[in-house]
Structure 1
Amino acid sequence: MADSFQSAYQEEERKLNETIAEIDRQLDRLTSIPVYTGHDFTEQVLEAGREERRQALFKSQAEPYFGRLDFQESGKDAQTPLYIGKVGFDRETAGEHPMVMDWRAPAASLFYSFTGGEDLASYEAPEGLVEGRVYLKRNMVIRKQILERVSDTYNRDSGGPAVTDEFLVYRLGENKDNKLRDIVSTIQAEQDKIIRAAKNTALIIQGVAGSGKTTVALHRLAFLLYQYKEQVTADKMIIFAPNRMFLDYISNVLPELGVGDIQQRTFEDWAAEQLDLPWNGEDTGKTFAYWFETETGQGTREWSNNDSGRYKGSITFMDLITRCMEQLEDASLPELDFTPWDGAVLLKEQIQEWFQVEYKPYPLAKRKERVLARIHRWVEMELKKSPSQAVLKERKKKASQREKAYANKWPKFDPLTLYKQLFGASKSSIWPEAWLKEIPQETMAVTRKNLKAGLIKEEDLTPLLYIQTMLHEMDGNLRFDHVVIDEAQDFSPFQIALLDRYVRGHSFTILGDLSQGIHAYKGVHAWDELSSLFEEEHQAYFALTTSYRSTMEIIEFGNVILDQGVRSDLLAVPVFRSGDDVRLIPYGQGAGREEDLRRALRHLSSKGSYRTVSILTRTLREAAELHEMLAGEWPELNLIDGGKGTYQGGLSILPVYLSKGLEFDAVIAADVDAYHYADKIWDAKLLYVGCTRALHELWLFYEDQLPACLHSGLDDITETGWPEGS
């Protein structure tokens, strides 16, 4: 066996040296050619091709490829070794197969879809289905042109019946830094199906914590740009993520895949920009979860439930606004003739003809603009009939005044003005009283109060932007070729329906986890709230149940919370990567809460292999207080409060609700007790989010009594008390 491994290693080392030498030769030649900066179109095209090849070779220099697949196509006599990398390139004289095949190429899909066995394997090529046999699937780790690891995950000659997980477990065991990384070398078959799905489809992906949802979506963008290069462009794609810090966390993945210029925004930032409204992004944090917490003078906690976000994110509310805008169309036109001066009359029937027939295809604001311009042209023609200069001057003056007065009789086609009228936050309203009564009383009262105070809440941005799309023509430059929505369980049906107006061909990747839906005041409670927005032929649903992030012990601990607290039957299936038991540590075994947390942080941060260690608290106030206590000993300890746009890695402390989407080598969960996590589904979801951030170690501290969702099922996966030597 050792001889076989040594032989494989030597073979791959020779291949690597040959590949690097070829890359160097091509780069030397291409860089020796002066960059063309002239105006000749043919030369410009040739230079663009050379530059594209230069960039591909530069990106391939350090790590040319990561995998090899030996495939024998049916009807052919010999196996062909296909080397697969992030970027494809060929020798100067191209052969039947490239020297390194781009991971997005049709044939490269075999590297991900093949799961072992004697049956024929196949892939879809432009010319049709290609079938054949896989003889070898080999993973490699190459860093800085050094071959570090060779692992055969399938070898037909050795009699291996299936692809093994050894290489996957090795990569999952690596420690993390402050950025999400690509998974191009370890994409699994279920993930590959999503990545390569057809473009004009609204994909809805339910994935347990750690199933790679976000990374899969980012790889899907890279695939779509490769597969549909004539139809889509990077600058017409957008990723909507929950907050700016998360966007920073995922920012390296697409550049690693050779993709740039894709917009990455929060929905709130993007919507406020379209509306030209000031927005600082603070509202989301203030209205966290289905309740918001306030401190009274006695230090007790008050809980209140505001369901206005759920209502204002509903299709019911969208339909009400649609009816109101249709009513606005009927009520827009002043019911009177236009008389610019005595003796000249433009009949209201003529104006109605222009507005309701001739300019009907235009949105309301454009129709108003066109009608008023048409009236002005009619006035100019009538002025030409003036008998003298004196009469002309007098008529011009009167016409100008009366045109302004007539225009003021039209409703103001401004989204915020109309929205205020809808909620009675302005003096006048043209909406039927019966319609306004359809809005829940609490929603009406809270929104009216906010709008009168000049407050635009997160939940108001979607209806405001919807009103704008109905008032104004949508600029074609604002339309997207594809939209990715991360943490989609926190998006409302109204948001998705609005975005569908901005995207061509219902081209969405919508991903999330209902079990991590910690914001009950917004979002969806079931995926059919979103899938019902699309025709059946324009949608597809995938469930990712394998969790790759954490050890088996941590995943099984999370499943206890899912089963007992969240009451979900969609549990995570772990990859076989075992680690330490989850630790449950009651306060008081040290010198109290603060000293216990200090001791835990000392122990975990002293492990040289851990790059990221985090303390998670229930609230932001508790995180800030604890940070102040600990910062003297650990000045590098970062407080994450939602106001920062970057995640720096290292040691951090943050409220658990801001940890969504992040992952840490080790997690210390503070105050995991029945007081901080009540016997409610939303509290269980929040605890599940916190626990599933940990890759290798999870420690939970509590006082008095554990939450109800942790009362049983923990014996085999938990350890009580401190580890030896801590």
Structure 2
Amino acid sequence: MTSLDHELSRERTYHDTCRAALARMIEGADEQVVTGEDVSASGADAESLGYHLRSYAKQLGEEPESPLFFGRLDLADGRSHHIGRRRIIEHPAEPPLVIDWRAPVSRAFYQASARDPQGVAVRRRFGWAPWSKGASEDLTGLEDEPLVSAAQGPAAVSRILAGEIERPRVGPMRDIAATIQPEQDTLVRSELAQSVCVQGAPGTGKTAVGLHRAAYLLYTHPQRLVRSGLLILGPNRTFLSYIAEVLPALGEGGIRQSTVDDELARHPVRAQDTPEAAAVKHSALMAAVLHRALYGRVSAPAESLAVPDGSYTWRIPLAELARIVEEVRAEAPPYAVGRERVRTRAVRVLQLQAERRAGVPDSEWLRRMGRARPVSAFVDSVWPKVGPEEIVAEVLTAADDPGLTEGEREAIRWAKPPRSFKSAKWSAADLVLIDEVAGLVERPESYGHIVIDEAQDLSPMQCRAIARRVDFGSVTVLGDLAQGTTPWAARTWPELLAHLGKDTAAVVPLTKGFRVPEAIVELAAAGVTGREASRVSVLPATLAKGLEYDHVVAVEPAAIVGAEPRGLHRLYVVLTRAVSRLDVLHCRPLPAEMLG
């Protein structure tokens, strides 16, 4: 038996040990759920404990069948760590059999080099049979990379690493925990409070970086993110289906993955905008238009306030009421909060009068004054209750805001206004406007972190909708300005980040491609910058973004270019979906830009 065979045999035996330990972990988690349900704790504590135990058991039970480790670190101090997608232990008091790839000690697996070994003597990579479900006999190879004694010359290319990166793309997207590169690892391990914008051409691993950062943050800040939430935003549902299995494979399930349109879907989309109307509605101008329309409902009081209280009547002079409204308006709270502040401060004036006349009133008196008909009538007159749909319908019916040009007003004006906003048929862009007003009325709950993929296609108003949902959190923005295909696609990242409210976020380029062959990139870039073989997926160019295939057949590039104003960008997206082979079928002449 050769030394390689001997090492493979040892590692296969170790993998069997890990598999048995994982089985015991799953069994133990199920037992803890049963035991936890019998614990006599207080209601809230018992519910929290039960949720934690059930979630942990569910995660372990749904662990995908796959190899349990992909690497090993032999440290200079003699210790050794196997690295995998999940931590595996035999006993809580003993060192883990496998360390989670997100753990601090695992960072050296991705970052250590001959120039900076970080305490690593040897880095070992394991080669597994393609599509292995984790049978030990599928461990077919291993590679050792000495670091401490290595010459500080060019790093040797890992055959196993290259093979894993170049493995054919079949089915949904898979994780890259085994192949994360140093520049990607730095982004993945960015602090939770840090917002990051990742700019990268096709195949640079933007999406994978974003998903792995989400998994890393959930591992590092579990309590905070379980409480505040983490959201993955993709361009369409096809894309979300493609990436759906990545986080579960990394041990993180139950994460909300959605599109911007789905997040704003307060009503079904039953109308279609003209391109001109959609462009205006998605522009940042509409934020000011809607703000003026909403707060235009606020007005100065017209008369003093008299509030009967038994045989006595309390009075608030007109000037005092006007002062209350002006103060609250200057404070600029959410509209609904402002309305209640006006009520509260009017009641406070009545309270002070009552204290001077008869002593401190009780809480029941205060509640009664707050509900008194004259007080409610005053509040309704100066700060009326209103819904976001009503405001948007008003704007689209009148379309007379001075902040818009006549052409812009004409573009968005309803040709046949509905009888009431309740019977209106809303377009997708209208729902963005409704969400803007809803955010002015009452702030939505904020996520702790949002990952935004294909962000270059977001409009200013869509960015504002996201910003409201991550007001106190951070974002990972992923995209490629060259792939912008919407009429409102971003021209620069600082512009888009400003609309997201994250203008201090660092813009980090990923420049090393791992998927698209250089010849394909050159062919695609000429125009923009101057699944299984037994199955064929046919999809329009509009849904190709973010997906990847071993073999792509692009049909009639000239038609793709001519279909929309940013057609060249759409063609760029189509041509860069291929991993290994690209064929172009056409009857019409190819766009001149493709010919160089």
Provide TM-score, normalisation by structure 1.
Answer: 0.67
> Which residue of structure 1 lines up, in the alignment, with residue 7 of structure 2?
8
Hey, what's the Cα distance between the residues in 2 that align with 1:358 and 1:405? Answer: 15
Deviation, 1:345, is: 5.9
> Which residue of structure 1 lines up, in the alignment, with residue 491 of structure 2?
525
> Which residue of structure 2 lines up, in the alignment, with residue 350 of structure 1?
320
> Would you say the 8 A contact 1:205–1:510 is kept in 2?
yes
Hey, what's the Cα distance between the residues in 2 that align with 1:698 and 1:102? Answer: 37
CA deviation string 1:214-243 (max 9, x = no partner): 222111111001112242217711111111
* Structure 1, 509-518 or 225-234: larger mean CA deviation: 225-234
> Would you say the 8 A contact 2:199–2:481 is kept in 1?
yes
Deviation, 1:312, is: 4.0
> Which residue of structure 2 lines up, in the alignment, with residue 567 of structure 1?
529
Note closer, same or farther for the CA distance 1:456–1:443 as it changes in structure 2 (3 Å cut): farther
> Would you say the 8 A contact 1:101–1:108 is kept in 2?
yes
CA deviation string 1:124-143 (max 9, x = no partner): xxxxxxxx234223234263
> Which residue of structure 2 lines up, in the alignment, with residue 135 of structure 1?
122
Deviation, 1:549, is: 2.5
Among 92, 109, 112, which residue is 1:111 paired with? Answer: 109
Deviation, 1:153, is: 6.1
> Would you say the 8 A contact 2:232–2:256 is kept in 1?
yes
CA deviation string 1:413-444 (max 9, x = no partner): 32233234445x14xx9xxx7xx233133322
Hey, what's the Cα distance between the residues in 1 that align with 2:179 and 2:416? Answer: 50
Deviation, 1:170, is: 1.7
Matches within 5 A, 1:490-509: 490-509=457-476
Secondary structure at the aligned position of 2:83 is classed as strand
Note closer, same or farther for the CA distance 1:681–1:189 as it changes in structure 2 (3 Å cut): farther
Hey, what's the Cα distance between the residues in 2 that align with 1:547 and 1:200? Answer: 28
Matches within 5 A, 1:597-636: 611=532
Which letter does structure 2 place at the counterpart of 1:495?
A: Q
> Which residue of structure 2 lines up, in the alignment, with residue 226 of structure 1?
219
Gaps of 5+ in 1: 123-131, 293-304, 383-398, 569-609, 614-649, 713-726
> Would you say the 8 A contact 1:86–1:103 is kept in 2?
yes
Gaps of 5+ in 2: 355-371, 419-423
Matches within 5 A, 1:473-488: 474=443, 478-488=445-455
Matched, 1:70 2:74: yes
Hey, what's the Cα distance between the residues in 2 that align with 1:367 and 1:158? Answer: 67
Matched, 1:471 2:408: no
Hey, what's the Cα distance between the residues in 2 that align with 1:189 and 1:482? Answer: 23
CA deviation string 1:503-558 (max 9, x = no partner): 25440011111111111x223121121234589994111111223233x2xx4223
Note closer, same or farther for the CA distance 1:49–1:411 as it changes in structure 2 (3 Å cut): closer
CA deviation string 1:366-388 (max 9, x = no partner): 33356468879999999xxxxxx
Among 95, 98, 120, which residue is 2:96 paired with? Answer: 98
Among 240, 257, 268, which residue is 1:279 paired with? Answer: 268
> Would you say the 8 A contact 2:109–2:123 is kept in 1?
no
Hey, what's the Cα distance between the residues in 1 that align with 2:262 and 2:30? Answer: 42
> Would you say the 8 A contact 1:337–1:345 is kept in 2?
yes
> Which residue of structure 1 lines up, in the alignment, with residue 17 of structure 2?
18
Deviation, 1:206, is: 0.9
> Which residue of structure 1 lines up, in the alignment, with residue 539 of structure 2?
654
> Which residue of structure 1 lines up, in the alignment, with residue 178 of structure 2?
185
> Which residue of structure 2 lines up, in the alignment, with residue 705 of structure 1?
589
Structure having the higher helix fraction is 2
Provide TM-score, normalisation by structure 2.
Answer: 0.81
Secondary structure at the aligned position of 1:365 is classed as helix
* Structure 1, 675-684 or 509-518: larger mean CA deviation: 675-684
Matches within 5 A, 1:441-480: 441-449=406-414, 452=417, 454-472=424-442, 474=443, 478-480=445-447
CA deviation string 1:325-360 (max 9, x = no partner): 5x537x43332334689x986532233344344795
Among 275, 281, 287, which residue is 1:318 paired with? Answer: 287
Deviation, 1:209, is: 1.2
Matched, 1:152 2:143: yes
Note closer, same or farther for the CA distance 1:702–1:7 as it changes in structure 2 (3 Å cut): same
> Which residue of structure 2 lines up, in the alignment, with residue 516 of structure 1?
483
Hey, what's the Cα distance between the residues in 2 that align with 1:340 and 1:31? Answer: 63
Give identity over the alignment, percent: 26
Hey, what's the Cα distance between the residues in 2 that align with 1:201 and 1:28? Answer: 38
> Which residue of structure 2 lines up, in the alignment, with residue 195 of structure 1?
188
CA deviation string 1:663-722 (max 9, x = no partner): 22322222234x55359982221111112222232211111421112224xxxxxxxxxx
Hey, what's the Cα distance between the residues in 1 that align with 2:235 and 2:501? Answer: 27
Note closer, same or farther for the CA distance 1:509–1:26 as it changes in structure 2 (3 Å cut): closer
> Would you say the 8 A contact 2:127–2:142 is kept in 1?
yes
Among 696, 711, 717, which residue is 2:580 paired with? Answer: 696
Note closer, same or farther for the CA distance 1:369–1:544 as it changes in structure 2 (3 Å cut): same
Which letter does structure 2 place at the counterpart of 1:63?
A: P
Hey, what's the Cα distance between the residues in 1 that align with 2:527 and 2:304? Answer: 67
Among 538, 551, 554, which residue is 1:669 paired with? Answer: 554
Note closer, same or farther for the CA distance 1:676–1:358 as it changes in structure 2 (3 Å cut): closer
Deviation, 1:456, is: 3.0
Hey, what's the Cα distance between the residues in 2 that align with 1:468 and 1:47? Answer: 36
Among 569, 574, 585, which residue is 1:685 paired with? Answer: 569
> Which residue of structure 2 lines up, in the alignment, with residue 633 of structure 1?
none
Matched, 1:546 2:550: no
Which letter does structure 2 place at the counterpart of 1:150?
A: G
> Would you say the 8 A contact 2:482–2:529 is kept in 1?
no
Hey, what's the Cα distance between the residues in 1 that align with 2:189 and 2:216? Answer: 7
> Which residue of structure 1 lines up, in the alignment, with residue 367 of structure 2?
none
> Would you say the 8 A contact 1:153–1:167 is kept in 2?
no
Note closer, same or farther for the CA distance 1:455–1:163 as it changes in structure 2 (3 Å cut): farther
> Would you say the 8 A contact 1:237–1:481 is kept in 2?
yes
Note closer, same or farther for the CA distance 1:46–1:99 as it changes in structure 2 (3 Å cut): farther
Hey, what's the Cα distance between the residues in 1 that align with 2:56 and 2:426? Answer: 49
Note closer, same or farther for the CA distance 1:365–1:547 as it changes in structure 2 (3 Å cut): same
Deviation, 1:260, is: 2.1
Hey, what's the Cα distance between the residues in 2 that align with 1:104 and 1:442? Answer: 54
